[in-house]
Chain A
Amino acid sequence: MEEIISLKNITYSYFGKIPALKNINLSVNKGEIFSIIGHNGSGKSTLLSIINALIHPDSGEVLFKGKAITENSLRDKNFAIQLRQSMGFIFQNPDIQLFCPTVFDELMFAPLQLNIPYEAAVQRVEETLSYLSIGHLKERPPYMLSGGEKKRVAIASVLTMNPEILLVDEPLSGLDPKTQTFFIELLIELNRAGKTIIFTTHHLDLIDHLQPTVAVLSEGHTIRKTGSATEILSDEEFLISVNLIHEHIHKHGEEVHKHNHLHYVFHKH
């Protein structure tokens, strides 16, 4: 399969002092679902920002279809537009992502910046509104929507770019179970349509649902292991060592007992 994203020896620190990522190497193929998992503060979101060229690593190389993404290469406006158009970033917090006055403007923003003709952009927006069942929100200001509605608008605002790669930071964060299911099904459908999906999470049940290739970030901000969903989820000891599952107290009626915490895979008594 064609390699679409490649990270080589990436190191990044905040303010040159607080380490966020150390010597990261990974490779994502076209059409793949790829997940970066790790506990809070392990550097997952930072890694997505680096892939999207929003921040640049202290050292190492990010390659998009074999071409290096650097501050210098982004000065080439055509390359910058191609890169932005190819990658859609769905942020964890939709309040940050949604900055336009109305939902319609929000969906129009990216196509207009990427020089898509106005009429084509409008048609694309109308189709996306209908696809995500948010047509009734079209003229509403995004900051007045509910959490689930904001998330749908955030997804729609990225889909109108028709990106080749979707970067999704914590897809299930802050969503009710129904919206979570909707989001998971949407990701599967988009992947079937040929989109490459890279997402971060610490929900192992999401890994079980989407069966991605998984890279596990450790507390030391390095990649501890890369493998298939089955390989990662079946290695209980490894998941305990990277704090992704842990022993917890559990209640059944009046009986209280301890077991390893992972409701989908390791919920055994």
Chain B
Amino acid sequence: MKSKIPTYLQESEAFQPDIQGMRRSRFSFLDKTIMNSARTVKAVYLQAENATKDNFIHHIHPKVKFISLIYIAVIISLVSNLTAQLLITAFIMLLFLLAQLNIIQVYRKIFFLAFIFGFLVVLPASVNLISPGKIILNLITFNRPYNFWIYHIPQNIGFTHEGLQVVCMMFLRVLNSISFAMFIVFTTSFPAFIKSFKLIGVPDTFLMVISLAYKYIFILSRTIEETYLALKSRLTGNVKNSNLRKIISGRIFFIFKRSISSYENTYYAMVSRGYTGNVKLGLSAAFTAKDFIALVVIIVFGLGILLI
């Protein structure tokens, strides 16, 4: 039988080094894209896995959790007592422990966010330039106070007792808000939580759009990951930046086209199953005694905190 295979395919490929020398390949942007996409996919998986644990906290009705989230957020913003804020912190930690979540891993994320948005951002408020009061730690001393336009710079600049209280309060408020929101995210399945938005009158069609967008992020992340892995497997040596830009823009267009096609076909699938413009979503399960107890505990706790 006569073979039609090209001759070069019947020979082993000789290694041909890069004639420009020993420069290292620079495709770190590809790795970053792949890693970020993989991280998105992993985050979705982790959230879904955490949210479906077999634990009584996880089984509490999503609507109860939704009401609690709004209620606790209001309580956190109303309370201006440091002890009460610390009690809320302890209560949320207790909830994390009861939900059997990896508290160290979760709080590492929470503290990072709270440090940036609740501490660094408000730190300037702790000095007497912004919060006048009794200085407890002097930082700079000038020869005399200065007045510039509407600003007054005192002779001594330092942390004030009142300023530090403001910073602590802000930090605890941010910490408590983030940690309670994280607690809800890690103990509730995303779809169930979205459905509870019905409580505040969000229409079914909008909820469907949120669900579709969430699914789309997941599928898009996987598509990007696959596309860039395929690209990485074929890119060797040094490629000119201009050529890389062309390749990447081509890939972006490809992903865009796939998105359009996916959107059209999903629409057809919806029409095929009876969609006529108004989505009708199912009812969620009824409240059980356990849900009412959970709701009462949260309400009583909130009222107790307000009385401190």
Contacts and interface: CB of A to CB of B under 8 A. Distances in A.
Given A54-B272, A256-B1, A112 B282 contact: yes
Interface string A79-122: 01100110111010101110111101100111011100010011
A54 B214 CA distance: 25
Given A96-B265, A96-B266, A99-B212, A112 B281 contact: yes
Range, interface on chain B? 20 to 34
A21 interface: no
Given A118-B283, A143-B215, A91 B276 contact: no
Q: Is the interface of B mostly helix, strand, loop or mixed?
A: helix
B246 interface: no
Contacts of A110: 273-274
Contacts of B214: 101
Contact of A157 (B268, B273, B275, B281): B273
A100 B191 CA distance: 9
Contacts of A49: 268
B194 interface: yes
Q: Which of A54, A77, A99, A249 has the most CB of B within 10 A?
A: A99
Interface in B167-219: 189-192, 194-195, 211-212, 214-215, 218-219
Contact of B219 (A101, A143, A249): A143
A161 B269 contact: no
Range, interface on chain A? 35 or more
Contact of B273 (A77, A80, A161, A258): A161
B223 to A, nearest CB: 10
22 contacts: A52-B272, A87-B272, A95-B262, A96-B266, A99-B211, A99-B212, A101-B214, A104-B282, A105-B281, A109-B270, A109-B273, A109-B274, A110-B274, A112-B281, A113-B275, A118-B282, A139-B52, A139-B189, A143-B218, A144-B48, A157-B273, A158-B273
Interface of B: 1, 44-45, 48, 52, 189-192, 194-195, 211-212, 214-215, 218-219, 262, 265-266, 268-276, 279-283
